[in-house]
Amino acid sequence: MKALINQSLDGKDATYAALREAKRLGYVAIRRRRGGDGRFTEVVWTINWNVPPPSAQESRASYVPRVQNPCFQTLAGTTQASIRETRSEEVPERLQQVVQSKEQQRSSLIEWEPCVTELQKHALEINFRDLSLDLAQQVADELAGCIELGQVKECPIKYGKGIAKNARGGGFTPKAGIAVMERRKKRLTEERVREQRRAEELALRAKVAAQMADPATQQRIRAMQKAVRDVVREPHVPVSR
């Protein structure tokens, strides 16, 4: 449960409340197994998606947590819990709405690298809200650099929060993120050059189109076409020697 709280986007109390609600509605079942000596050896989590839709009264008072945490897979490797999940092709409509509402986050001004997933971006952007945009970008670059170098062994969200914590304390110095920053600047420069060339090309096309639409230009073109036709129609006179 501690690992789930660390990976949650909400606080401890909210996570416990969401878990109790999910257990009450039948989405989650938790059982503790005993060994041969009578002691508890493991905890089995059963996540059930085949739950009938709740009544209207329950719908107004219920909250279903998001079960697809970006780092949820780290729980599967622990010795404290084994997770068994049953799925169906159709997810309950109310659960879909809750998941979609969680995914609809504010648009970010931070430039993220492809190695960071969308769910990880959303979770870290919430944590970075008290940082300036420049400092948040440096933290994001540092996290991406550490991921690319293979230094992130656990949950990237937790790792990124640790970097942000150091940045708040004034003990943050970019290292792995320097290469990411330089690469991003180069990419942005190339994009600006392409945009400028595209704008110049569009301006040139518009200028040519305006000139072709001018009556004087059309008259000159017709005169040139007539002159060419007259030259073609003239009989060929051989030159005598």
Give 148's strand partners: none
The band of 77, judged by pLDDT with boundaries at 50, 70 and 90, is: very low
Query: Does the structure show a pLDDT above 70 at 53?
Result: no
For range 113-122, the mean pLDDT: 90
Q: What is the pLDDT of residues 156-187, one digit of tens each?
A: 999 999 999 999 998 899 999 999 999 988 98
pLDDT value for 57: 45
Query: Does the structure show a pLDDT above 70 at 105?
Result: no
Percent of the chain with pLDDT over 90: 32
pLDDT value for 11: 73
Nearest CA to 23 out of 69, 68, 62 is that of 62
| Domain residue limits, the chain | 1-93, 104-207
Neighbours of 27 (CB within 10 A): 20
For range 224-232, the mean pLDDT: 84
Higher-pLDDT residue of 67, 173: 173
- Model pTM score: 0.44
DSSP 170: T
Backbone angles phi, psi at 83, to 5 degrees: -110, 130
Nearest CA to 66 out of 97, 35, 87 is that of 97
